[in-house]
Structures are given as C-alpha cells and as structure tokens.
Amino acid sequence: MMAEPMREHDSTSVQRATRGVGDCSGRWYGGVIGGHNVCWEKFARYFEVELKEVKLREGYYVMNPVKAVEMVDENTICVAAILGSTLNGEFEDVKLVNDLLIEKNKQTGWDTPIHVDAASGGFIAPFLYPELEWDFRLPLVKSINVSGHKYGLVYAGIGWVIWRNKDDLPDELIFHINYLGADQPTFTLNFSKGSSQVIAQYYQLIRLGHEGYTNVMENCRENMRVLKDGLEKTGRFNIVSKDDGVPLVAFSLKDNHSHNEFEVSEFLRRFGWIVPAYTMPANAEHITVLRVVIREDFSRTLAERLVIDIQKVLHELDSLPSKLTANVSVSVDHKEVDKNGTVVAKKTALETQREITTIWRKWVMDRKKTNGVC
C-alpha cells in the first residue's frame, strides 16, 4: 500500500533509504531502535542487520529520543520508533525523534529516516489521539507497519506496511510477475497466502468506518480504566502503563517478597485467565510486570470479574507460605564477615528483588525456552 505524501517530499531521505536497502556488500547497515519487541531481534538476525538498542531503565520503558539520535551514525538505515510499547503500551515520542534527527541530518549531511512500528498504536492513535503527530505528518517518517490482527480487529495473520511514497520502496525489491495474463507486482517474503484476512479487514473497515473504530477504541480505553482503578483500589499494585497509549494495564506487585507476579499469573489460570508475567529487558530486568491487553471483546463485566479474581488470588497467596523463602531468606539474613572481622552490609532490597527475579526467570525460561515479549 502506498500513501501519497501529505507534506512536501524530501528526496534526499529517499535516496538514502534506497541506498541502504540496496547495498550489496553482504551486510546491511544498522538500525537504532528504542523499545523492545522480539520481531526486531528476529529481523536483525535473519537479515544480518546490526541492531542498536537504546537501553531502558526502571520507570522509563520507551526509547529516549535524545539517546537514540545520539546513536545514529553514517551506517544507520533508520531509527525505528514503536507506537505502543509491547511492555507497557506507552507511545514513543516520534515527533521529538523527527525533530532531533532533522537537526542531526542537517549537521552531518546524512539523511537518516524513521520507520514507525505502529503494530498496535496505528489503529489507536488516529481514533483516540488524532492530534498526536507520529505519522506521515512528520517529514522523516518514511514507512509505517500496522497489525490488522491487533486493534485492526481481524483474526490472526494480517499486518501491513505503508510507505510514504512510491519511491520509498526500492523498485529492485519488487518482483513483477507475469501471471494470469496481467502484470502482478509483488513484495512479500512468502508467496502464496490466503486472502481471507484481507477480505476480513476490508469488511471491518467498511462496516465500522472511522466512527465505528473510534467507538470501539473509546470503549477499550474505558474498560482499561475500570480495570486499572480496580487494581489500584486493592492497594497492592504499582501501575506501570500510562493512561495514554495502547489500552492495556501493566502492573507489578508493590511487595513481591513472599509471592511474586509469576505466582499471581500461575494462580489466575485456575480462574481461566491467562495473564502473562514477564521481566523487563536489560537495565530494568529486576522489574516484573503482569499485562492485560484490553481488546474490543473485553467487556466492563469481564474487567470487574478479573479484579475480583485477582483479589481472590492475592488472598489465597497471602495465606500460603512463601515458595521463595528457602532461597531468599538466606540472602536477606546473610551477613558476610570479611577477613578483618568486619560485618558486611546485608543485601539491599533491590539486590534481593533481583535475586528473586533471577530465580523465577530461570524457572520460566526452563519451561518456555524463549525470552521475547510479543
């Protein structure tokens, strides 16, 4: 799909993008990316692109635009901004990336463009935050991907990329096939694929229209608030997601010393809920969160029921002895005496928390053998 430029066309950026993609040195150039989604790691490995990730830190789970633009060098293919972090649903500041990058491009003579991974946000921002500039209104945004099977409201298996302009998709990547009597341009990684999802997407777009999608997204946001308020009222959780962004609630226990988020997740399964618990990526890996993504079919009644079930789980866990006591009490009460006979300080709460996370992470990894969040 092509989108016609909404503002004047910046031809130098196009050349740059084309040059990066078309280079045949055997190795692609690097890309800078902020947030974290396993699809980017996959892309980097399969296509031999060096991925430079802006490290997150506790309490700040999106790309820092200043750091991202600092990391751009002459080999950078693009800066990839994520609209709707996988971790907490927060939107990255694409406009600031755009403005800083314009400045850097001006100073260096480079023309690094931006790709926006709007897998979830692409179907949320236009309806809930129409004023937010994250798309082709920003001159450096050259391509955007969206997942139809997320907030596009289609069953699994459809996603697409939109380029700003026809020239932004290098012609050498398009195959022209003489098939069934007409020229068919194709740009895909696989070949034959059923069209049912495309038809379903088309149906949804026509059936719901702008107004329908707006109603659905507003409803999701409303139910997200019901869930968030309910969780806050328990007094037991820190909310890690933001009010603006993908309608989801990411939360962690205020106190996970005797029972942690993985246990909450495990216990919720008995009530029929599958709520993932995961640790944050590098530099914030001692933080564990539970995440509930609110979609169209997640009603207010379900949100209220989930809060009730979470309260039951907390109650149940409170009455159980800590699964971790054996492992953790050793470290909490451990006072090391060095060779001079001086007592070394006990581990800090953070160190203890890290230790608990490590134990659980290993336990989860052994079971899942995967570490990506998607």
Ligand X SMILES: *Cc1c(COP(=O)(O)O)cnc(C)c1O
Q: CB 309: neighbour CB atoms within 10 A?
A: 17
Sign of CA dihedral 7, 13, 19, 22: negative
Scanning 20-28, 112-120, 196-204, 298-306 for contacts with ligand X by CB under 6 A, the matching segment is 112-120
Q: How far apart are CA 261 and CA 256, in angstroms?
A: 7
Rule CB under 6 A: which of 298-357 touch ligand X?
A: none
Query: Which is nearer to ligand X, 35 or 230 (by Cβ)?
Result: 35
Scanning 41-49, 116-124, 309-317, 333-341 for contacts with ligand X by CB under 6 A, the matching segment is 116-124
Q: Is 82 near ligand X (CB under 6 A)?
A: yes
| Assigned token pair, 74 | 């002459």
Q: Is 37 near ligand X (CB under 6 A)?
A: yes
Scanning 115-123, 210-218, 264-272, 353-361 for contacts with ligand X by CB under 6 A, the matching segment is 115-123
Query: Which is nearer to ligand X, 47 or 363 (by Cβ)?
Result: 47
> Contacts with ligand X: how many residues (CB under 6 A)?
10
- Sequence length of the chain is 374
Binding mask 251-290 for ligand X (x = CB under 6 A): ----------------------------------------
CA-based nearest residue to 184, from 175, 195, 194: 175
Q: Is 63 near ligand X (CB under 6 A)?
A: no
Rule CB under 6 A: which of 129-148 touch ligand X?
A: 147
Q: Are 292 and 364 in contact (CB under 8 A)?
A: no
Query: Which is nearer to ligand X, 42 or 270 (by Cβ)?
Result: 42
Pairing of strands 114-117, 141-147: parallel
Q: Is 197 near ligand X (CB under 6 A)?
A: no
Given its phi and psi angles, is residue 48 left (phi above 0), alpha (psi -120 to 50 degrees) or beta? left
CB of 50 to ligand X, least distance (A): 19
Rule CB under 6 A: which of 230-249 touch ligand X?
A: none
Query: Which is nearer to ligand X, 63 or 100 (by Cβ)?
Result: 63
Q: How far apart are CA 336 and CA 16, in angstroms?
A: 58
Q: Is 87 near ligand X (CB under 6 A)?
A: no
CA-based nearest residue to 61, from 87, 31, 32: 87
Q: How far apart are CA 35 and CA 235, in angstroms?
A: 29
Compute the C-alpha angle 255/294/252, nearest 5°: 10
* List of residues contacting ligand X (CB under 6 A): 37, 39, 82, 86, 117, 119-120, 147, 159, 374
